[in-house]
Amino acid sequence: MHGSTDTTSIAIRARNVTLVLGSKAAPVEILKGIDLDIARGTSIAILGASGSGKSSLMATLTGLERASGGDIRVDGVDFGPLDEDALATARRGRIGIVLQSFHLLPTMTALENVAVPLELAGNTQAFAVAQAELEAVGLGHRIGHYPTQLSGGEQQRVAIARAVAGAPAILFADEPTGNLDGATGAAIIDLLFARQAAANATLVIITHDPALARRCDRTVEMRDGTIIADSAAGSAA
C-alpha cells in the first residue's frame, strides 16, 4: 500500500528498500524491496516475529543503518545521499527513538539524560524543557535520581521523555515494553500514545505483539524481510 501521492501528508516514504549484510562471498538479504508510505500524525505498528526484518526496517528508516538499495525520504528529506554526520543532523528534531533496553547514561540523572541531548543540539532552555517533559511522564519527583535508582518502568518513562523532548515529527519505539511486566508495559504504551497525541507526531511501533499492534491506526506485518500484510486497525490482514 503506497497511500496518498501528496508528499506533504507523508511522514515517511520508502521505495524498493533493500538491506544486504554479511560479506560479498556470503551476503544475507535482510530487507527485500520494501515499499511503504506512512502518513503524518498517524500510528503504525510494524509487526513480526524475531528475524522478520522489522527492527532492520526501523534502522534504515531512522538512518541508523544505511539501506543497500532503494529510496527513503523522512519528513521530506532524502536519506540516500547523506553521510553519517548529515544523517545525525537530519534526525535531530525529526526523529525520536525509544528502545527496549532504555539506553540511559548511568552517570547522569534523569534530568541530565533528557536535557544533555537537547543542550548538545543547541537548545538554550534544555533543562527547563527536560523538566517539563519528565513532569509530563509522571517523573517530576524523580528528576535527580540516577537510572540505577529507577525501576524499569521509570527508566522507560525517562527514555520516552528524552525521545519526545526535541519535538520530533516522528517517534519510533522498538519493542518498548520488552523488558517490562504486563501492567507496567500497558502504562508505558498508554503514555506513548498520549505523548504522540500531545505532539501531533507520527508514531511507529516495532513489535511482535498483535494486541499492541491493534491499538495503532494501521498494522504492517513482516516476514522474511518482506511486507506480507497491511491493514487498518480492526480489519482483517
Position 92 pLDDT exceeds 90 = no
Grid cell digits, residue 38: 506512512
* Predicted local confidence at residue 7, as pLDDT: 60
Q: How many domains does the chain have?
A: 1
Determine the average pLDDT of the residues in 22-30: 91
**Residue 99 domain-assigned (yes or no):** yes
The string of DSSP letters for the chain reads ----S-GGGEEEEEEEEEEEEE-SSSEEEEEEEEEEEEETT-EEEEE--TTSSHHHHHHHHTTSS--SEEEEEETTEE-TT--HHHHHHHHTTTEEEEETT----TTS-HHHHHHHHHHHTT-TTHHHHHHHHHHHTT-GGGTT--GGGS-HHHHHHHHHHHHHHT--SEEEEESTTTTS-HHHHHHHHHHHHHHHHHHT-EEEEEES-HHHHTTSSEEEEEETTEEEEEEETTS--
**Residue 36 domain-assigned (yes or no):** no
pLDDT in tens, 142-186: 999 999 999 999 999 999 999 999 999 999 999 999 889 889 999
* Predicted local confidence at residue 123, as pLDDT: 93
* Predicted local confidence at residue 6, as pLDDT: 54
Position 5 pLDDT exceeds 80 = no
Grid cell digits, residue 213: 499492534
The domain containing residue 199 runs over which residues? 42-66+83-232
**Residue 89 domain-assigned (yes or no):** yes
Position 191 pLDDT exceeds 60 = yes
Determine the average pLDDT of the residues in 227-237: 70
**Residue 73 domain-assigned (yes or no):** no
Name the residue with higher pLDDT: 233 or 2. 233
**Residue 27 domain-assigned (yes or no):** no
Report whether 42 contacts 196 (CB < 8 A). Answer: no
Q: What is the mean pLDDT of the chain?
A: 92
CATH number of the domain residue 185 falls in: 3.40.50.300
Q: What is the pTM of this model?
A: 0.91
**Residue 74 domain-assigned (yes or no):** no
**Residue 72 domain-assigned (yes or no):** no
Position 68 pLDDT exceeds 80 = yes
**Residue 128 domain-assigned (yes or no):** yes
